[in-house]
Chain A
């Protein structure tokens, strides 16, 4: 079953973010108040290791298991969409204390009320899709 490994990766990710308290509203509040190194350590160390990983992949031209080259498409050009979209996302992140991954992990932790937040996030995604052409992107 080709999907089995993705369930496995998801389980490891879900356990990791739960055990490191990354899914906690309190940790997100603490991060945005600069009152602990914890979240900066989590994101910072994963980015530093990630930079090393991606540099090695690029220089050694490592292929994925299906034999295709690993190409990371550059994000589309522009400033406004990233800045405005980022600010809107940041406001939501600090209010719910959860970004998209943690929303689902919190449900797994037994906090069913986050199903409502997920439905809301789907609605937000849907509204973006509807009014996309009216928003500044570049």
Chain B
């Protein structure tokens, strides 16, 4: 039982993710989280003035139900399974401290960026609002996110997904090398 409360290693999490993908395939569905953002736009009526959102989102409602499960799962992990400390490498901790982050890894996410109090600061706007916007825009432009491309697409050996994942890394490296080091100074 002790295992439940410790952070789960990669060789437990990776196979579980593959099993979720398998469960969805066996249910006649496809594993992909970002399409929910499109459905949510459609639910709110975006289809009335934009064709891209004029589709039968009800056929995707199983995926919105999956999202409700995600929120419940996060709640359970946080409240009953002790998931709040993050065991990042000492290298990462030292590097982030040098950039001005206090106690890297003591919380799930850095308080400097992800609290209501910091939301309307330059760094909060960049991390939460700009970051969120680009996640939504980029995922739809690329036709999928981590679940659709990096997991499902690569599992199906699809070349477009490989290109997308290379893109994910180009973007991610640009940020961690050129933006994150200066983020807290803003």
Contacts and interface: CB of A to CB of B under 8 A. Distances in A.
Interface of A: 3, 5-33, 35-51, 53-54, 57, 62, 64-66, 68, 70, 72, 74-79, 81-101, 103-114, 116-130, 132, 135
Contact of A121 (B62, B105, B136): B136
A50 B151 contact: yes
B170 A51 contact: no
Contacts of B142: 81-82, 84-86, 88-89
Nearest to A86: B167
Contacts of B132: 92, 96, 103, 116-121, 124
B69 A88 contact: no
A111 B109 contact: yes
Contacts of B110: 25-26
Nearest to B41: A126
B67 interface: yes
Interface string B110-122: 1001111001000
Most chain A beta-carbon contacts within 10 A, residue among B146, B149, B150: B146
Interface string B44-59: 1010001011000000
Given A81-B142, A111-B108, A122-B37, 15 more contacts: A10-B67, A24-B88, A28-B172, A33-B176, A35-B91, A41-B11, A72-B25, A79-B163, A86-B142, A86-B166, A94-B176, A108-B73, A121-B37, A125-B140, A129-B41
Contacts of B160: 75-78, 82
Interface residues of B, number: 124
Nearest to A72: B156
A76 B143 contact: yes
A20 B128 contact: no
10 contacts: A6-B29, A7-B68, A22-B13, A25-B109, A83-B163, A92-B136, A93-B146, A104-B67, A110-B75, A125-B137
Given A7-B66, A9-B20, A113 B13 contact: no
Contact of A107 (B23, B71, B127): B71
A62 B22 CA distance: 11
Nearest to B93: A26
Contacts of B152: 50, 72
B157 A51 contact: yes
A74 B135 contact: no
Given A45-B15, A106-B74, A112-B116, A82 B135 contact: no
Interface in B148-186: 149-158, 160-161, 163-176, 179-180
A34 to B, nearest CB: 9
Contacts of A38: 10
